[in-house]
């Protein structure tokens, strides 16, 4: 903080201009206020008011007792030409500071009186024993006036400032040396607290800027919650077991703090003997505390005591008057900063919970794929992100795999991520191909506005065809690890991000050997200020070549072991690529999918004639094949299901007609035809002789549905197996070509 001398606007005298990193000092203006008030109170008030209201500028005016004019004592970053308009304000002026003094309360004035781009000015008076003594004003840039919480902050800052001025006026001025030290310390702490975002940032700022100057070696922050208990939100210099003891301590049983909270007055205890004499009921706390002297400082914000800041010393410590005064002033400043930080913490926690709630709680374990994932929120920054991933079971053991990233950070982006994930899940259930799914997602993102974009990779793994068909919209390429440990990154052209692309989208087809790994990630994992996406992908491949040992990850016979190995791999990759994840400025997502192709012996099928004989031939084939698989218990129901599906194909569709059976954890029956007509369940009247076929299918199967191909459709059903049959058992029926 520095001081600038000015004589513009008809007023000669110095103004306190607040700038980060310096120390305040000032000479008294004509109003006769002492130096300490300008340096310690007004400069702090201006900085905190601007920070709490996220303002463009803040000012402090004081009423000159000689002529009643409001003199500008402190401001933040205004150019002298702008500040000069309010250097002297007659009490009758229409400006917000003058109106606040006249009315003795909060005033909001629309407009930009100083030409700084403000939407309005909020002002509250500095209230003294005999009425308003001046005004604290903030020029805001947001839409609308400050909310109730922000107004409460403004009132609290003004009240604290007025109290500090009054205490200085009512007591002898401190010596020059202590005044310089107070100015420097308050300036440094104010700058640090202005940059503090979270409660932990506030604790760290106090630990860095308060403990060393006083020679303290302990710090404990406790906040008062609705259950009238004190909860530790941060500490320094205390062993963990003592911090745990003080976490959740009932206020009614904490005699020391109860006095401080009730009276809102700091308590300075200079030795353990004094502590035990004053508070004999706190013997357990005293015995377990490693400290020998304490300053118990109430933290007051929004007109209430929100908690306690305890500064402690390992040995007995006599507190001088200057130390007591300074620590008292610091507690008011810290209380305001902590209240603001806790509001951020609560909002941020809710946003994080929203974001995590939109991600899958657990990835499914499917016959053809198991997976593990990591989501790492940004360690820096104030907003949540929009990364997501998912794995969705489809018919015939196929698996939809998706990973995406909504560009930007904030609640809106997290909500958009949730909408996209829900849309992908719904569209995947319709069993549409990746390019068509992207067509619909692109329309959805475009409708959100020009500022919304999302990158995405969506693909379908088919264990029977042994393929992965996928589309890519502005997203990092996937990486494939083969069973022999070979790492491969297919170089395919990516379409623009969703919201900026023009359909059609291109699809890409990979042929996968059995027991492959698909590794998908968002750019937060591989991109940073020191490397681009391509360099990050190369680094990812190097890490995978080191950690993806075939012996460990491709030969696991137990599903739990398989997933555990994938989880370990995720941890190793994150440790290698983000060794200091707490310092990242972007969310990171990682999804590793272990794919398993279907055993040829678990797949059987035949072509059927396009006439009424087809149903009979299908039943005959089913009896033989299920007997070969040891599934004779399912013959009767399967015959009914396939008869209905084949009968519908013969009556309502065109050829060719084909039957396919797939055995895994379920028995899947598929009937293919050459028609794109949509089957639907209809309500049949009591006198109708037909129309109940699909109702029967729905009743007898665990799941059923339809998916559409380029040259027709497939109707399918799934039935639970009575006992899971082992994979690899060969078919006793010769499958038709």
Q: What DSSP string runs through 550-561?
A: HHHHS---SHHH
Residue 468, pLDDT score: 97
| Mean pLDDT within 318-346 | 82
Cβ contact 59:86 at 8 Å: yes
H or E element at residue 107: strand 107-110
- pLDDT bracket for residue 139 (50, 70, 90): very high
Residue 159, pLDDT score: 82
Q: What is the pLDDT of residues 605-663, one digit of tens each?
A: 999 998 888 999 999 999 999 999 999 999 999 999 999 999 888 888 887 999 999 99
| Mean pLDDT within 187-206 | 82
With a cut of 60, say whether residue 551 has pLDDT above it. no
Residue found by looking up tokens 């997290």 in the block: 414
Q: Which of 360-369, 453-462, 475-484, 512-521 has the lowest mean pLDDT?
A: 360-369
Cβ neighbours for 242, distance < 8 A, ≥ 6 positions apart:
288, 289, 290
| Mean pLDDT within 352-377 | 84
All domains of the chain, ordered by start, with CATH? 2-169 (3.30.450.40), 196-351 (3.30.450.40), 360-595 (3.60.40.10), 601-720 (3.30.565.10)
Residue 9, pLDDT score: 33
Tokens in use for 458? 């969506």
Side by side, the strands of the sheet bearing 507-511 are 386-393, 399-406, 454-462, 467-473, 507-511
Residue 281, pLDDT score: 83
Task: Tell me which of 389 and 11 has the higher pLDDT.
Answer: 389
| Mean pLDDT within 191-211 | 85
Looking at every residue in the chain, the average pLDDT score rounds to 82
With a cut of 70, say whether residue 737 has pLDDT above it. no
b/e burial code for range 249-268 (CB count within 10 A of at least 16 → b): bebeebebbeebbeeeebbb
With a cut of 90, say whether residue 729 has pLDDT above it. no
With a cut of 90, say whether residue 306 has pLDDT above it. no
Residue 544, pLDDT score: 93
With a cut of 60, say whether residue 97 has pLDDT above it. yes
Task: Tell me which of 539 and 386 has the higher pLDDT.
Answer: 539
Cβ contact 556:493 at 8 Å: no
| Mean pLDDT within 365-375 | 92
Residue 13, pLDDT score: 38
| Mean pLDDT within 470-482 | 95
- pLDDT bracket for residue 183 (50, 70, 90): low
Q: Which of 250-264, 529-543, 697-711 has the lowest mean pLDDT?
A: 250-264
- pLDDT bracket for residue 391 (50, 70, 90): very high
With a cut of 70, say whether residue 229 has pLDDT above it. yes
With a cut of 80, say whether residue 175 has pLDDT above it. no
> Angle at Cα 110 formed by Cα 105 and Cα 115, nearest 5°?
115
| Mean pLDDT within 142-148 | 82
Residue 171, pLDDT score: 59
With a cut of 70, say whether residue 691 has pLDDT above it. no
Residue 341, pLDDT score: 85
DSSP letter, residue 607: E
Q: Where are the beta strands (DSSP E) in 275-332?
A: 293-301, 304-313
Residue 508, pLDDT score: 96
Indicate the burial class of 247 (C-beta count within 10 angstroms; 0-12, 13-18, 19 or more): middle
| Mean pLDDT within 239-245 | 88
| Mean pLDDT within 525-537 | 88
Tokens in use for 511? 């042929």
| Mean pLDDT within 46-52 | 80
Task: Tell me which of 362 and 559 has the higher pLDDT.
Answer: 362
Q: How many CB atoms lie within 10 A of CB 347?
A: 12
| Mean pLDDT within 60-81 | 82
Q: How far is CA 688 from the centre of its chain?
A: 57
Cβ contact 732:722 at 8 Å: no
């Amino acid at each position: 903080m520095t001081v600038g001398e000015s004589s513009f606007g008809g007023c000669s005298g110095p103004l306190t201009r607040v700038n980060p990193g310096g120390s305040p000092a000032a000479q008294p203006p004509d109003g006769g206020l002492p130096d300490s008030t300008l340096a310690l109170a007004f400069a702090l008030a201006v900085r905190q008011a601007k920070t709490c209201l996220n303002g463009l500028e803040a000012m402090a005016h004081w009423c000159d007792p000689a002529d009643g004019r409001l003199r500008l004592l402190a401001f933040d970053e205004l150019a002298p030409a702008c500040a000069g308009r309010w250097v002297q304000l007659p009490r009758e002026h229409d400006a917000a500071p003058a109106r606040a003094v006249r009315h003795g309360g909060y005033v909001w004035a629309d407009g930009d009186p100083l030409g700084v781009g403000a939407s309005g000015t909020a002002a509250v008076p500095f209230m003294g024993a005999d009425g308003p003594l001046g005004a604290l004003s903030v020029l805001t840039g947001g839409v609308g006036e400050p909310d109730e919480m922000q107004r409460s902050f403004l009132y609290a800052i003004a009240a604290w400032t007025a109290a500090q001025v009054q205490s200085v006026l009512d007591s002898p001025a401190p010596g020059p040396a202590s005044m310089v030290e107070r100015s420097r310390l308050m300036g440094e702490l104010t700058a640090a607290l202005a940059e503090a975002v979270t409660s932990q940032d506030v604790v760290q700022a106090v630990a860095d800027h308060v403990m060393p100057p006083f020679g303290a070696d302990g710090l404990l922050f406790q906040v008062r919650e609705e259950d009238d208990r004190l909860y530790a939100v941060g500490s320094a210099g205390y062993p963990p077991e003592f911090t745990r003891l003080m976490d959740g301590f009932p206020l009614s049983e904490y005699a020391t703090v109860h006095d401080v909270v009730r009276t809102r007055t700091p308590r300075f205890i200079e030795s353990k003997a004094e502590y035990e004499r004053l508070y004999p009921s706190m013997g357990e706390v005293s015995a377990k505390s490693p400290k020998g002297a304490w300053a118990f400082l109430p933290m007051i914000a929004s007109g209430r005591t929100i908690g306690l800041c305890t500064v402690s010393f390992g040995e007995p410590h006599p507190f001088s008057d200057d130390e007591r005064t300074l620590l008292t002033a610091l507690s008011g400043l810290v209380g305001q900063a902590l209240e603001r930080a806790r509001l951020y913490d609560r909002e941020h926690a809710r946003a994080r919970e929203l974001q995590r709630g939109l991600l899958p709680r657990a990835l499914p374990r499917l016959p053809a794929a198991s997976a593990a994932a990591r989501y790492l929120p940004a360690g820096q920054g104030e907003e949540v992100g929009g990364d997501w991933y998912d794995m969705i079971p489809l018919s015939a053991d196929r698996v939809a795999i998706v990973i995406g990233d909504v560009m930007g950070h904030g609640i809106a982006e997290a909500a958009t991520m949730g909408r996209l994930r829900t849309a992908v899940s719904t569209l995947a259930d319709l069993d549409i191909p990746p390019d068509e799914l992207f067509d619909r997602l692109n329309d959805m993102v475009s409708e959100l506005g020009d500022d919304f974009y999302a990158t995405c990779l969506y693909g379908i793994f088919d264990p029977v065809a042994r393929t992965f068909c996928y589309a890519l919209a502005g997203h990092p390429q996937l990486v494939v690890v083969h069973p022999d440990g070979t790492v491969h990154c297919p170089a395919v052209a990516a379409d623009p991000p969703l919201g900026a692309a023009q359909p059609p989208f291109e699809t890409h087809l990979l042929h996968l050997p059995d027991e492959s790994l698909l590794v998908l990630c968002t750019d937060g994992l591989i991109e940073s200020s020191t490397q681009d996406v391509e360099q990050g992908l190369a680094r990812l491949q190097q890490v995978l070549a080191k950690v993806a040992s075939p012996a460990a990850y491709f030969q696991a016979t137990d599903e739990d072991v398989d997933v555990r190995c994938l989880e370990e791999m995720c941890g190793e990759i994150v440790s290698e690529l983000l060794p200091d994840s707490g310092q990242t400025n972007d969310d990171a997502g990682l999804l590793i999918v272990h794919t398993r192709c279907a055993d040829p012996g678990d797949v059987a099928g035949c072509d059927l004639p396009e006439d009424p004989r087809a149903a009979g031939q299908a039943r005959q084939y089913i009896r033989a094949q299920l007997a070969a698989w040891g599934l004779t218990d399912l013959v009767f129901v399967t015959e009914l299901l396939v008869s209905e599906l084949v009968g519908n194909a013969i009556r309502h569709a065109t050829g060719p007609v084909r039957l396919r059976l797939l055995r895994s954890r379920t028995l899947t029956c598929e009937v293919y035809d050459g028609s794109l007509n949509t089957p639907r369940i209809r309500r049949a009247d009591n006198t109708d002789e037909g129309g109940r076929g699909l109702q029967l299918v729905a009743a007898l199967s665990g799941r059923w549905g339809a998916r559409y191909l380029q040259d027709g459709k497939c109707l399918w059903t799934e039935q639970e197996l009575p006992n899971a049959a082992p994979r690899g058992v060969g078919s006793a029926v010769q499958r038709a070509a």
